[in-house]
Amino acid sequence: MAMAALRREGRRFLLSSASSTPITARSAISSEESCLFGARSISTQIVRNRMKSVRNIQKITKAMKMVAASKLRGVQTKTENSRGLWQPFVALLGDGLRGDLITIVGVDVKKNVVITVSSDKGLCGGINSTSVKVSKALTRVYSGPEKETKYVVLGEKGKAQLVRDSKNSIELTISELQKNPLNYTQVAVLADDILKNVEFDALRIVFNKFHSVVSFPPTVSTVLSPEVVEKESEAGGRLGDLDLYEIEGGETKSEVLQNLSEFQFSCVLFNAVLENGCSELGARMSAMDSSSKNAGEMLDRLTLTYNRTRQASITTELIEIISGASALEG
Amino acid sequence: MASTAAVPFWRAAGMTYITYSNICASLVRGCLKEPYKSEAASREKVHFAVSKWANGKPEKPTIRSDSPDE
């Protein structure tokens, strides 16, 4: 684009200089990017400005990549440790639904609440649109007569995408979660708020599970409400094994199940938020890496154009001088 | 068993198990000595904004900040 502008500018200058009055020449290229008055060369100012801006962008993206990389290291350890929190629950209550769409449909409930975990900030590749897409797909899977699906959205970016076509089913949005480093207390308070404000039979938490810096597949984990868990455990199956455990204290089974499912929710949510935060940083890292690479390539091309134009103008000047001198001699 | 007897009380007070366990956890953290205590306290910071939606419109967000227990 800069090239084209440059060429245009040059042609105009040539045309106007043909009339050979300096005033008209100046008015023809009255824009600020033009060259100095009376100069014969094509203006390189535009290219120089563009080079400067591209260089600045590259600096910024490089810095963002560094920041993401250093943050990632801390969050990754935290995330890996937090996996130990939900694993016992899967063993006991049998999530078994992680990522497997067929078994999710197996537990059929009326009120589904999809919790979409996304990030507050952008510039992190496609992780937010992935979780939004999966949430929408889940909504379609669960839709049916006498059923309703609501959204609880974590993070600004997911909210912005879901508002467009399903704003009527958004129940709750949460943002600014990552202002401080993520911790369990925070997520627990959040989980508490969700439990108190939303009615549900099953919570489906959608997030990007962190596998490596370049791979974060969208994942669904399910938390059933205590009533549903109780019904399931009476029906037998995996949840029926709960009776094999010896439970201390005088609580009834429903109380135990209620406590368990509440605690399971906060643990799973904690893990989900951490995994998503980790994936966000990883995605941002690779996105920023490729954008600084692109900026570098662009800069190379611009430098080439710039040097070529400069060289051309020098050559033209030389030719003019030499031919002038030989005309005097001859 | 004190814990057994306590269950109905916090339930009756409108608390969930999460709140209950958080209060217990912050009590345990309070038993630490310095410097571990302030270190653990830094892991207790809470900050986020919640807004409820009604009829496709968000209500004014409420900010929950640094209040681990109600």
| Distance, CA of A250 to CA of A253 (rounded, Å) | 9
Q: Which residues of A touch B50 (CB under 8 A)?
A: 172-174, 190, 193
Q: How do beta strands B47-54 and B62-65 pair?
A: antiparallel
Write out the residues of chain B at the interface with chain A, using a CB-CB cutoff of 8 A: 1, 3-4, 7, 11, 16-19, 21-22, 25-26, 43-53, 55-58, 61, 63-64, 67-68
With beta carbons under 8 A apart, name residues in chain B contacting A248.
1, 4
Give the pLDDT mean for A312-323: 93
Specify if B54 maps to a domain. Answer: yes
Interchain proximity A184–B43, CB inside 8 Å: yes
Region A102-129 average pLDDT? 80
The DSSP call for residue B38 is H
Are the Cβ atoms of A174 and B49 closer than 8 angstroms?
yes
Q: Pick A186's closest partner by Cβ from B19, B45, B51.
A: B45
Predicted local distance difference test score (pLDDT) of residue A63: 96
pLDDT classification of A277: cutoffs 50, 70, 90: very high
Structure tokens, A87: 């694993």
pLDDT at A227: 81
Size of interface A-B (CB pairs under 8 A): 99
Q: How far apart (Å, rounded) are the C-alpha atoms in residues A7 and A1?
A: 10
Rounded to the nearest angstrom, the minimum Cα separation between A119 and chain B is 13
Q: Which of B1, B4, B16 is the best mutation test for A, with the most CBs of A within 10 A?
A: B16
Residue with tokens 């009376």: A38
What is the reported pLDDT for A31?
A: 45
Q: Give pLDDT, residue B4.
A: 52
Which DSSP symbol is given to B64? E
- Find residues 181-220 of chain A whose CB sits inside 8 Å of chain B: 183-186, 188-193, 195-197
pLDDT at A327 over 90: yes
pLDDT at A1 over 70: no
Q: What is the pLDDT of residues A132-177, one digit of tens each?
A: 999 998 888 888 778 888 899 999 999 999 998 888 889 899 988 8
**A176, A196, A197 member nearest B47 (Cβ):** A176
Q: Which DSSP state fits B25? A: H
Does B67 sit within 8 Å of A190, measured CB to CB? no
A249 with B1: Cβ contact below 8 A:
yes
Which residue type does A64 have? M
Q: What is the pLDDT of residue A288?
A: 95
Q: Is the per-residue pLDDT at B7 higher than 70?
A: no
Interchain contact, A263 vs B25, CB within 8 Å:
no
Q: Is residue B70 part of a domain?
A: no
Per-residue pLDDT tens digits for A188-219: 999 998 988 888 888 889 999 999 888 889 98
**A70-88 average pLDDT score:** 89
Closest residue in B to A250 (Cα–Cα) = B4
For residue A186, give the nearest of B4, B48, B61 by CB distance. Answer: B48
As a three-state string, the secondary structure of chain A is CHHHHHHHHHHHHHHHHHCCCHHHHHHHCCCCCCCCCCCCCCCCHHHHHHHHHHHHHHHHHHHHHHHHHHHHHHHHHHHHHHHHHHHHHHHHHCCCCCCCHHHHHHCCCCEEEEEEECCCCCCCCCHHHHHHHHHHHHHHHHCCCCCEEEEEEECHHHHHHHHHHHHHHEEEEEECCCCCCCCHHHHHHHHHHHHHHCCCCEEEEEEECCCECCECCEEEEEEECHHHHHHHHHCCHHHHHHHHCCCCCCCCHHHHHHHHHHHHHHHHHHHHHHHHHHHHHHHHHHHHHHHHHHHHHHHHHHHHHHHHHHHHHHHHHHHHHHHHHHHHHC
Query: pLDDT for A28-56, tens place per residue?
Result: 444 444 445 555 556 788 889 999 999 99
Q: Residue written as tokens 């038993």? A: B31
Q: How confident is the model at residue A86 (pLDDT cuts 50, 70, 90)?
A: confident
pLDDT of A21 above 50: no
Per the structure block, which two tokens stand in for A194? 């969700």
Q: By CA distance, what is B2's nearest residue in A? A: A249
**Domain total of chain B:** 1
> Do the beta carbons of residue B4 and residue A247 sit within 8 Å?
no
* pLDDT confidence band for A95 (50 / 70 / 90): low
| Interface test mutation site (partner B, options A176, A247, A255, A265, max chain B beta carbons within 10 A) | A176
Model confidence pLDDT, tens digit, residues B30-53: 899 888 888 888 888 888 888 888
Average pLDDT score over residue span A315-328: 94
Q: How much is the pLDDT for A241?
A: 65
What is the residue range of B25's domain? 2-65
Most confident residue range from A94-108, B1-15, B21-35: B21-35
* Single-letter amino acid code for the residue at A238: R
CATH topology assigned to domain A75-284: Pyruvate Kinase; Chain: A, domain 1 (3.40.1380)
Distance from CA of B37 to the nearest CA of A (A): 15
What confidence category does residue B10 fall into, taking pLDDT thresholds of 50, 70 and 90?
A: confident
Q: What's the pLDDT score for residue A245?
A: 74
Return the pLDDT at A101. Answer: 45
B31 found inside a domain: yes
Q: What is the DSSP letter of B32?
A: S
Contacts of B47 in chain A (CB under 8 A): 176-177, 179-180, 186
- Region at A125 (left for phi over 0; alpha for psi -120 to 50; beta for the rest): left
Q: Which amino acid is at A277?
A: G
* pLDDT score for A40: 55
